[in-house]
Chain A
Amino acid sequence: MAVTDKRYYHAIQIVPDNCTGCTSCVKVCPTEAIRVRNGKAHIDATRCVDCGECVAICRFHAILPKSDPLDIIHKFKYKVAILSSAYAGQFTEDIPYPTAKKALLELGFDEVAEEAFVTDFMISLIRDYIRQHREIRPILSSNCPAVVRLIQVKYPSLLPNLLHQEAPMSILTRFLREKYMAEKGLSDTDIGIFLIVPCVAHVTAVHQPEGAYKHLQDGAFSIGMIYGKIRERLRKMNDENPVIDTYEQGLTWALAGVEAEMVDTNDIRALSVNGMPNVLEILSKVEDHYLDQYDYIVLRSCTNGCVGGCLNVENPFVAMSRIKKLIKNASKQDIDVSELKSLYKEGEFDVVPLEPRSIMQLDQDIKQAIQKMKKLNEILVLLPGLNCSACGSPTCYALAEDIVSDKASIDDCVVLLKRHQKEED
């Protein structure tokens, strides 16, 4: 097992037999969590934020996403699936969304709920939170688990800016648990609630939720994993007009830009950012107080938002276009959110203040850290500056950092080695 440090759960696993040591993953990791050592990739579990960039780039099936096996649902008396809004974008238009939703029941669930059900409520919650916290600007969205972990790891000064409320699928989980316990006389442990998710970050968030006070979900299944099974059922179903409620107008949640547009109003200015490189740049600018004119910033690590998650089957732009069509054709629905509102007022969706996961520090003692930094700069001038990653570290700077932390040696630099060989000839 190539993931070190057991404190943090990760929904990513390296298959050493498949790894060629090509360093594609090393270069793409936003927190520089991956190193190739002895020809194989290793993930530093304290640095990894489960963004899935490495899963998406690996051509050798050497970095695999983990999600739960479907049969764990049978451990529960009442089995509930909560669908990420991205699910609706995965099917060709000859398959109506209600049919695609109903197919999940066929997999053995007693109930299928949609993230989309709480979208309108989420927007009002976010607006209320922004207005209640005038002293903090900008407020940063917290529904993307990769973004939350990225801030813990790389931008700890921005932790107070995160919207400290549960994400929509977890809000829905709390709501449904209360509802089924009251309506069906079930106990908390009878009810199994599972998420159907578009990305590894959501799998991780189910297994190791950040800041959760209460029992949330019991497992997570990737859209990619169940997709084949769903297609199989769809062939057999032949169901033209399935009787099932759907909430198309709330599917906006899967699209990054739309959430910001919905939150934006007279007294709230919102900005939307998606895709890892943009998220990194914007967080750095927030740190510099350069974006204080915004009240709210929606940050999603994947392209276009959750439709861009690496566990989806469809291209993020195609999925987005399909979801937009569904929303456009949706009839207006009035969803009763009074119960959700009272749960919010009772603090049911509050989260524990999020703690930093500091990875950047060279040493606990600042004097030692400065000495290491001095040594790092001395090493840096010796290195070629090509950032070729052939040593297994992402950049020359990262190699210098690894050397001062005793995790690598200057002899790992292939370019220097070649130069020395030439000099000797």
Chain B
Amino acid sequence: MAEYWNISPGLEAKAKAFLSAKPEADVNLDFEIGVKDFVNAGKGSAEVKNVLKRLGVDPVVLRRIAVASYEAEINVTAHSNGGIMHSYVYADLVYIRFEDKGPGIADIEQAMVPGWSTADELVREMGFGAGLGLPNIQKNSDLLHIESVAGGSTTLEIIIYYA
């Protein structure tokens, strides 16, 4: 199993404490992501965006959340055998966990390099696969955690604080 962590400076203790406690969220949304389903991929993050607008989350933060969750959702549909997006909304942060059904990321460090991509022909034809997905997620989130089993499933977690 391979693992990757990236946490914004100053937020390490707070974010890790959150992950180990994982308090029950008041609002959670689950969204199923199909294989190469570019028609529907993006709807999960659109729903999250709608909820956050109703909570009055700052517009700049809202766009960061929109980008990170949208990119991650596209990743699942483009590269995996399908999966689920679980979104948990709290009063101070949003925590989103993507779980897929494989086939796993062979080399996570390599996948984090901007421009590096394993996208196939179909994905590139759809206008994706520029190799900026994971770097963009990292850039826009306060915590990014990836856990992947070669040949098995991948879990990607992000946390973004509102302030």
Contact = CB atoms under 8 A, between A and B. Distances in A.
Contacts of A289: 63, 66-67
B51 A284 contact: no
Contact of A370 (B26, B49, B53): B26
Interface in A361-389: 361-364, 366-367, 369-371, 373-374, 377
Interface stretch (B54-62, B102-110, B146-154): B54-62
A288 B70 contact: yes
A14 B73 CA distance: 43
A156 B49 CA distance: 13
Given A157-B63, A289-B63, A290-B70, A373 B46 contact: no
A371 B54 CA distance: 11
B27 interface: yes
**Interface of chain B, main secondary structure:** helix
Contacts of B42: 288
Contacts of A358: 56
Interface string B33-51: 0000000001001100111
A373 B56 contact: no
Interface string A278-303: 00000010011110000000000000
B122 interface: no
B113 interface: no
A370 B59 contact: no
A360 interface: yes
B54 A287 contact: no
Given A370-B27, A370-B89, A288 B54 contact: no
Nearest to B45: A288
B54 A362 contact: yes
B56 A369 contact: yes
Contact of B54 (A159, A360, A364, A367): A360
Interface in A186-238: none
B11 interface: no
B59 A156 contact: yes
Given A157-B63, A287-B66, A374-B27, A369 B54 contact: yes
A90 B46 CA distance: 40
Given A157-B62, A371-B26, A364 B55 contact: no
A288 B26 contact: no
B19 interface: no
Nearest to A159: B59
B128 to A, nearest CB: 10
A373 B26 contact: yes
Contacts of A288: 42, 45, 49, 63, 66-67, 70
B100 to A, nearest CB: 21
Contacts, number: 65
Contacts of B1: none
B91 interface: yes
Contact of B56 (A287, A366, A374): A366
Contacts of B49: 284, 287-288
Nearest to B53: A360
A360 B42 CA distance: 20
Contacts of B60: 157
Contacts of B27: 370, 373-374, 377
Contacts of B50: 360
Contacts of A364: 56
Contacts of B57: 366
Interface string A369-413: 111011001000000000000000000000001000000000000
Contacts of B63: 157, 287-289
Nearest to A284: B46
A159 B62 CA distance: 14
21 contacts: A157-B59, A157-B60, A157-B62, A159-B59, A284-B49, A287-B63, A288-B42, A288-B45, A288-B63, A288-B66, A288-B70, A356-B59, A360-B50, A360-B54, A362-B55, A362-B56, A366-B55, A367-B91, A370-B91, A373-B27, A401-B54
List of 4 A-B pairs having minimum Cβ-Cβ separation, nearest first: A157-B59, A361-B56, A360-B53, A369-B55
Interface of B: 26-27, 42, 45-46, 49-51, 53-57, 59-60, 62-63, 66-67, 70, 89-92, 162
Given A361-B55, A373-B27, 12 more contacts: A157-B59, A287-B62, A287-B66, A288-B42, A289-B63, A290-B70, A360-B50, A362-B55, A369-B56, A370-B55, A370-B89, A370-B90
